Amino acid sequence: MAARVAKDIPEGAYVNLGIGLPTMVANYLPTDKDIFLQSENGLLGMGPAPAKGEEDWELINAGKQAVTLLTGGCFFHHADSFAMMRGGHLDICVLGAFQVSVNGDLANWHTGEPGAIPAVGGAMDLAIGAKQTFVMMELLTKQGQSKLVESCTYPLTGLACVSRVYTDLAVFEVGAAGASVVEMVDGLSLDELQGLAGVPLRAAEGARN
């Protein structure tokens, strides 16, 4: 999934990678493209994960993972970082999710279950502030329920903010017109995918299998 997301990030983009799966995208970005990764704890110019044994634990991302700094990278105050995020200065953010609706609503900070610990972090600021919001998630829960839904049942992070959803089975575009399938894994049909997702799906123009 991370490699697939990386393919869709254009040269020159300023990008925030959310905690969890999205941080893996940094390891798949092409080295011949200038793509600028921002971390909400105050870092711009983040590189891929360091080799094992070469970690500098004073150089971490928002998820407390060791990272590297590319030539020209810089550090700044947390407040300045959120000004970038809220001010529309990021081209793309990549976030994880508990649910995404077919019209692009995002729920990724709380399941509402008793005892569950809410963890919104900067997700609301990113989802609304970035020019595009991509989501990385497995399509199904451990119980086999689709995370791509008609309407989110978990507390919302943002309304109509997601444009693309990258899953282990397919890539979707979501928005006012509903969900369309951009790409599927080999051997999976649109009918089979729709049966798993449980929401109306259509093939996007130029969709690939």
Q: What CATH number does the domain containing 137 carry?
A: 3.40.1080.10
Number of domains in the chain: 1
Tokens of 208: 């690939």
Full residue range of the structural domain in which residue 143 is found: 2-208
CA 208, 144, 201, 154: dihedral to nearest 10 degrees? -120
Question: Is the per-residue pLDDT at 198 higher than 90?
Answer: yes
Of the chain, the percentage scoring pLDDT greater than 90 comes to: 89
The DSSP element (H or E) to which 76 belongs, if any, is none
Question: Is the per-residue pLDDT at 73 higher than 90?
Answer: yes
Q: Which of 148, 142, 150, 151 is nearest to 170 (CA)?
A: 148
Q: Residue 202 has what DSSP assignment? A: E
Question: Is the per-residue pLDDT at 162 higher than 80?
Answer: yes
Question: Is the per-residue pLDDT at 196 higher than 90?
Answer: yes
Question: Is the per-residue pLDDT at 207 higher than 90?
Answer: no
In DSSP notation, 161-190 reads -EEEEE-SSEEEE-STT-EEEEEE-TT--H
Q: Residue 11 has what DSSP assignment? A: T
Name the active-site residue from 40, 55, 138, 150.
40
Q: How far apart are CA 148 and CA 102, in angstroms?
A: 7
pTM, full prediction: 0.94
User: Is 150 noted as a catalytic residue in this protein?
Assistant: no
